[in-house]
Amino acid sequence: MATIAVPLGGGQTTQEIEAVKRPALSEYLRWSVDHKIIGVQYGVTSLLFFIIGGALAMGIRLELWTPELDFMVSGAAYNSLFTMHGTIMIFLFIIPMWAAYGNFVVPLQLGAKDMAFPWLNAFAFWLIPPAGVVMLLGYFVSPAEAGWTSYPPLSTLFSGDGQTLWALGAHLLGLSSILGSINFIVTILNMRPPEMTIWRMPLLCWAVLATSIIAVMATPFLAGALTLLLLDRMTGTTFFDASGGGDVLLWQNIFWFYSHPAVYIMVLPGMGVLSEVLSIHSRKPVFGYRMVGLSSMAIAIVGFTVWAHHMFTSLQPELRIPFMITTMIIAVPTGIKMFSWLGTIWGGKIRFTSAMLFGLGFMSMFVIGGITGVMLAALPFDIHVHDTYFVVSHFHFVLFGGSVFAIYAALYHWFPKITGRMMDETLGRIHFVFTYLGFLITFFPMHIVGMLGMPRRVAVYDPAFTDFNRLISFAAFVLGFSTFIVLYNIVRSYFHGPIAGANPWRALTLEWATTSPPPPTNFHDDPIPYEDPYGYGTKAASAYIEAIDMAFDRREPAPSGAD
């Protein structure tokens, strides 16, 4: 029989446990080296930018309600609208939001007292607010309007000073991302307890490890590209100007060498979250644990070989086929994950909690985004739908249907640990319904208008697409409204939610083997991980979970066999 290892904390008195209070709200506004505070700082900052980026999206959909230019004063104003929407959502919402969960959860899952470099961690966070402000300051000069991809010559010859601020802000965010990722890699490789081999590590840690490897290897390329852009804009060099011997494709190559892997920076942590959430809320071990961990690494590696599929229409023809093949290959490790998730929930005791609903939502949406990704990898199809709404639909299915759904799943799942309070499940389910339907009806029809030929990044379109666009805009407003439900739920639950206890989901990973919220040093003593982080369904697992309950919540032992 497996060893029943009991996490630490059991020796404490009830008074000691009750003494763990939530940090005062003012602590979140100050410099702190506590990874839990920094995690919340990342999270709240990202959420604020999510609201700004979401408001800009509503502006886009308002403009597209009619085929004419009516809501925005000019096409240029519309350009800056979608430019800032994309930039904010990618650089200031999704990427830092994963840093939020990574920061809060990863050291806890590893049983560590903090990240490897706490000061560096705080520094990496505090680069983000000024970077965001610098980017937004563009609105006071002339905002960036070359799209989030910032292709020259749009970003050199046809964009105002806001584009320079955009590049400076992106530079700071890149630095933050590199520093944060170095910290994650060192923490994950060096700070595990002796019992936790790399093959016993929670899958979120695997995902964050893979993400961080991508970030440290790819982000320096973004720094290189941005340096060239700044030089071209400010010092008169001609790296992107053909008249001076430069090359506009240079930007595309270097930018996408970062930005395609960045797509995986945005989704891999979500995949890690999904493995956690699906397993815990269906009380089943993760199906094919090793393959899931390794597939994260495979995605990270193969992700570096596909960047030129963004340039199918501008690339030398002889390079198209190789990039088409590598792009299709990346569907394999992604497919492994999808089948693992299906295998995980198959036959499980599924609890339809809000976290689980968003997890299932992720699966259904991401599979659509994945399939359209393979469609776009096919060269003849890609050339047909290049720069149309089909592409807009595809990447929203992976970035919203994927990343944002996973962010919501993670929120409902770890909110009790972060705040010590449960979120309201009824509101959570209402939020899910509005988000799921709002999202699906917003983005699915975009496939159709895209294939019919509606180009992306236009404020004025063929009136034949009006009905589709009205439907899309209406659903987008519903989707926008759904955000207020979760915001209300967060605030309400923070103050009035039921007390969560240490382990409300009866999970086996170490972040649940301490109080909610955890004390400043995370654990009162070195915790002992359970031998299999997802070994649900055994008596030993039930005993471990009961031991946590006994240690922290002083409950009576539950009837055995429940897990």
Partner 1 sequence: MTTYIERTEKQKISDQRAAAIRLKNNRLGMNIFQVSWIMAFIALIVVNWQLRFNYSQWPPAGVPPFDLILPSVATLALLISSVLVVQALKVLRRGFPMAFLVKWRLAIGLGALFMAIIVYEFLNVSDAAMATQYGNTFRLMTGFHFVHALAILAIMCRVYQGAKLGKYSGDEHDSWAVEGAAKLWYFVTFAWMLFYLVLYWIR
The residues binding partner 1 (CB under 8 A) are: 3-8, 10-11, 116-117, 178, 181-183, 185-186, 189-191, 216-221, 223-225, 227-228, 231, 237-239, 242, 244-247, 249-250, 253-254, 257, 525-526, 528, 547
Cα angle, residue 166 at apex, residues 164 and 170 outer, rounded to 5°: 120
Nearer to partner 1, 11 or 347 (CB): 11
What letter does residue 411 receive in the DSSP assignment?
H
DSSP assignments along 323-357, one per residue: HHHHHHHTHHHHHHHHHHHHHHHTT------HHHH
Supply the minimum distance, in Å, between the C-beta of residue 528 and partner 1: 6
Supply the minimum distance, in Å, between the C-beta of residue 5 and partner 1: 4
Nearer to partner 1, 137 or 231 (CB): 231
Residues 6 or more apart in contact with residue 53 via CB below 8 angstroms: 84, 85, 88, 89, 92, 93
Residue 77 and residue 95 in contact, taking contact as beta carbons nearer than 8 Å: no
Residue 56 vs residues 59, 81, 259, 268, 562: alpha-carbon distances, Å: 5, 6, 22, 26, 47
Nearer to partner 1, 129 or 220 (CB): 220
Supply the minimum distance, in Å, between the C-beta of residue 186 and partner 1: 5
Residue 101 and residue 39 in contact, taking contact as beta carbons nearer than 8 Å: yes
Nearer to partner 1, 7 or 202 (CB): 7
Nearer to partner 1, 231 or 350 (CB): 231
Q: Around 138, how many Cα atoms within 13 Å sit in the side-chain half-sphere?
A: 27
CA–CA dist 27, 203 (Å, integer): 30
Centre a 10 Å sphere on the Cβ of residue 89 and count the other Cβ atoms it contains.
26
- At 505, is the secondary structure helix, strand, or coil? coil
Residue 397 and residue 365 in contact, taking contact as beta carbons nearer than 8 Å: yes
Residue 35 and residue 107 in contact, taking contact as beta carbons nearer than 8 Å: yes
Nearer to partner 1, 217 or 454 (CB): 217
Supply the minimum distance, in Å, between the C-beta of residue 120 and partner 1: 8
Nearer to partner 1, 260 or 337 (CB): 260
Supply the minimum distance, in Å, between the C-beta of residue 200 and partner 1: 15
Nearer to partner 1, 216 or 329 (CB): 216
Residue 94 and residue 88 in contact, taking contact as beta carbons nearer than 8 Å: no
- Rounded (10°) angle between helices 354-377 and 405-419: 150
Supply the minimum distance, in Å, between the C-beta of residue 544 and partner 1: 11
Supply the minimum distance, in Å, between the C-beta of residue 180 and partner 1: 12
Nearer to partner 1, 361 or 518 (CB): 518
Nearer to partner 1, 4 or 137 (CB): 4
Residue 243 and residue 193 in contact, taking contact as beta carbons nearer than 8 Å: no
Nearer to partner 1, 181 or 388 (CB): 181
- At 523, is the secondary structure helix, strand, or coil? coil
Residues 6 or more apart in contact with residue 193 via CB below 8 angstroms: 110, 111, 526, 527, 528, 529
Residue 560 and residue 542 in contact, taking contact as beta carbons nearer than 8 Å: yes
- Cα 178 to chain center, whole Å? 16
Supply the minimum distance, in Å, between the C-beta of residue 543 and partner 1: 10
Supply the minimum distance, in Å, between the C-beta of residue 8 and partner 1: 7
* φ, ψ for residue 499, nearest 5 deg: -60, 135
Counting runs of H as helices and runs of E as strands, what totals does the chain give?
Answer: 19, 0
Single-letter amino acid code for the residue at 259? S
Nearer to partner 1, 387 or 526 (CB): 526
Supply the minimum distance, in Å, between the C-beta of residue 385 and partner 1: 28
What letter does residue 388 receive in the DSSP assignment?
B
Residue the block writes with tokens 């096919």: 378
Supply the minimum distance, in Å, between the C-beta of residue 164 and partner 1: 18
Q: Of the candidates 443, 449, 281, 451, which has an alpha carbon nearest to the alpha carbon of residue 350?
A: 281
Supply the minimum distance, in Å, between the C-beta of residue 538 and partner 1: 16
Nearer to partner 1, 86 or 246 (CB): 246
Paired strand residues for 421? 499
Supply the minimum distance, in Å, between the C-beta of residue 452 and partner 1: 36
Burial of 374 (0-12, 13-18, 19+ CB in 10 A): middle
